[in-house]
C-alpha cells in the first residue's frame, strides 16, 4: 500500500534544489572572471569584427606621446615614433644595445690632411670627408678645436691640429698660468670644463674660479662654433655630455671625439647597473637624434677589462668614440 505524500512538499523542494545549483554556478563564474581579468588570454571574443565598445580610443599610442628616449627595464623593444623599425634596449651588463649607427668616413686623420694609414691604432681621429666641411675649414685656416682634459701630458693631437691650421684651445686645470699661448694657434687655459657653473656665492668669493660649463666658456670667449670638441675627462664625460644635450650646445659643434669610461658609473651617476646603462644609452641615443653619427671607435686594450666593476672578457673599460654632425655647415 503506497504511502501518501503531504500535499505541496515536492513542489517546494524542487525550486530550492535549483536555487542552490544556480548559486554555485554563479559563484564559479564570478571566480573564473576574477581570476582571468578583462582582456586576459583565457577569454576569447566571438569570431568576427571587434565590437565597437572594445576598440581603443582614437589617437596615437601611449608610447608615442612620451619622450622618444625611454628607459625600458626589460629587453622588450620600444615602439618608435611613427612606426618603423625598433632599436633594442640595452641590457644591464653589455654594450650591445647601445646606439651605434655608424657611417663610413673615407678620410680620417690627425697628422696634416693626409689619410691615416692605420686609423684603428689611433684613438683621436677626425673625419676629413669634404661633405662635412672640416677639411675646407682647415685649409682656409678657420678651424677651431676645443680640447678638454684633466692633467694629460699628451698633446700630440692638439699640436698636430694647430700645425694644420686650426685655432686650438686646450682646457686643463693643471696648466700653470691662466692663459698661455704656446704657438701662433695653440692656447692653454687653466680652466676645467664642468657640467655646472660654480654656485653664485662661491663665484662671488672666487671671481676667477677655474670651473665653467662649456656654454659659459663659449659666451665668455665669444665663440659661436667649435669644429672639433675633444674630451678626455676621466669619467666626468657622461655628465658633461648630458649638459651639452640639455643646453643645446651640440648645435654649435661639428665633431665630437670623446674618451668614455665604463669601469664605474662616473661622477654623480648612481643607481643599479641597468639604470646606469639606460642613462648612458639615453645620452648616446640623443646624439643620434641630433644627427650625430659615429664614424670611428677605438678600444684601449691597455686598460682593465671591466664593465661596471665586473670582469668582461675581450672588452675594455675605456673607448674613444668619434661622431660627426651630419648637419654641420
Predicted TM-score of the model (pTM): 0.68
Binned at pLDDT 50, 70 and 90, residue 109 comes out as confident
Contact in structure between 253 and 325 (CB atoms under 8 Å): yes
Q: What percent of the chain has a predicted confidence (pLDDT) above 90?
A: 47
The answer as to whether 78 is a domain residue is: no
Contact 258, 231 (CB under 8 A): yes
Q: Is 227 part of any domain?
A: yes
**CA proximity to 133, closest of 227, 250, 258:** 227
Amino acid 283: pLDDT: 96
Model confidence at 148, in pLDDT bands (50, 70, 90)?
very high
33 phi-psi bin (left φ>0, alpha ψ -120 to 50, beta other) = alpha
List CB contacts of 234: < 8 A, sequence separation 6 or more: 150, 261
d(CA 306, CA 299): 12
Per-residue pLDDT, 268:
87
pLDDT attached to residue 59: 43
Q: Which among 137, 144, 194 has a CA at the least distance from the CA of 167? A: 144
Only one residue has cell 565590437, namely: 51
Whether 192 maps to a domain, the answer reads yes
* Domain presence at residue 213: yes
pLDDT at 239: 94
pLDDT (tens digit, 9 = 90+) per residue, 10-37?
Answer: 444 445 555 555 555 555 555 554 454 4
Looking at the domain assignment, is residue 63 inside a domain? no
- Average per-residue pLDDT for the chain: 75
Domain-located, residue 135: yes
Which three three-digit cell numbers place residue 119? Answer: 686609423
> What pLDDT is stored for residue 195 in this prediction?
87
What pLDDT digit, counting tens, does each position of 262-321 carry? 999 998 898 999 999 999 999 999 999 999 999 999 999 999 999 999 998 888 999 999
Q: Is 278 domain-assigned? A: yes
Structural domains in the chain (count):
1
pLDDT score for 196:
77
Q: What is the pLDDT of residue 13?
A: 46
Domain containing residue 268: CATH number: 3.40.50
Distances (CA, A) of 238 to 30, 105, 203: 54, 25, 24
Compute the average pLDDT of residues 321-328: 94
7-21, 99-113, 166-180, 209-223 — which is least confidently predicted?
A: 7-21
| Position 173 in a domain | yes
Residue 306 domain boundaries: 125-325
pLDDT, greater one: 71 or 287:
287
Amino acid at each position: 500500500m503506497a504511502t501518501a505524500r503531504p500535499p505541496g512538499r515536492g513542489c517546494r523542494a524542487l525550486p530550492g534544489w535549483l536555487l542552490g545549483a544556480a548559486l554555485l554556478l554563479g559563484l564559479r563564474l564570478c571566480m573564473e572572471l576574477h581570476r582571468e581579468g578583462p582582456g586576459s588570454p583565457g577569454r576569447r571574443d566571438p569570431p568576427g569584427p571587434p565590437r565597437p565598445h572594445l576598440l581603443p580610443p582614437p589617437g596615437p599610442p601611449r608610447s608615442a606621446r612620451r619622450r622618444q628616449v625611454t628607459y625600458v627595464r626589460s629587453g622588450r623593444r620600444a615602439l618608435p615614433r611613427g612606426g618603423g623599425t625598433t632599436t633594442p634596449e640595452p641590457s644591464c651588463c653589455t654594450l650591445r644595445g647601445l646606439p651605434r649607427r655608424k657611417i663610413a668616413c673615407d678620410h680620417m686623420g690627425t697628422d696634416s690632411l693626409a689619410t691615416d694609414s692605420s686609423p684603428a691604432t689611433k684613438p683621436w681621429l677626425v673625419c676629413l670627408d669634404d661633405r662635412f666641411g672640416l677639411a675646407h675649414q682647415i685649409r682656409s685656416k678657420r678651424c677651431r678645436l676645443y680640447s678638454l682634459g684633466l692633467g694629460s701630458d699628451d698633446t700630440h693631437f692638439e699640436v698636430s691640429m694647430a700645425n694644420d691650421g686650426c685655432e686650438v684651445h686646450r682646457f686643463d686645470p693643471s696648466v700653470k698660468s691662466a692663459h698661455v699661448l704656446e704657438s701662433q694657434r695653440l692656447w692653454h687655459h687653466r680652466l676645467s670644463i664642468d657640467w655646472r657653473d660654480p654656485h653664485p656665492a662661491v663665484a662671488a668669493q672666487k671671481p676667477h674660479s677655474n670651473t665653467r660649463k662649456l656654454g659659459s666658456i663659449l659666451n665668455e670667449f665669444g665663440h659661436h662654433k667649435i669644429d672639433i670638441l675633444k674630451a678626455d675627462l676621466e669619467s666626468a664625460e657622461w655628465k658633461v655630455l648630458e649638459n651639452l644635450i640639455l643646453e643645446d650646445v651640440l648645435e654649435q659643434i661639428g665633431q665630437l671625439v670623446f674618451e668614455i669610461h665604463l669601469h664605474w658609473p662616473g661622477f654623480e651617476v648612481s643607481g643599479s647597473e641597468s639604470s646606469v646603462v639606460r642613462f648612458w644609452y639615453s645620452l648616446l641615443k640623443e646624439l643620434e637624434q641630433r644627427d650625430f653619427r659615429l664614424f670611428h671607435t677605438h678600444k684601449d686594450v691597455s686598460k682593465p677589462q671591466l664593465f661596471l666593476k665586473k670582469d668582461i672578457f675581450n672588452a675594455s673599460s675605456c673607448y674613444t668614440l668619434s661622431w660627426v654632425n651630419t648637419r654641420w655647415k
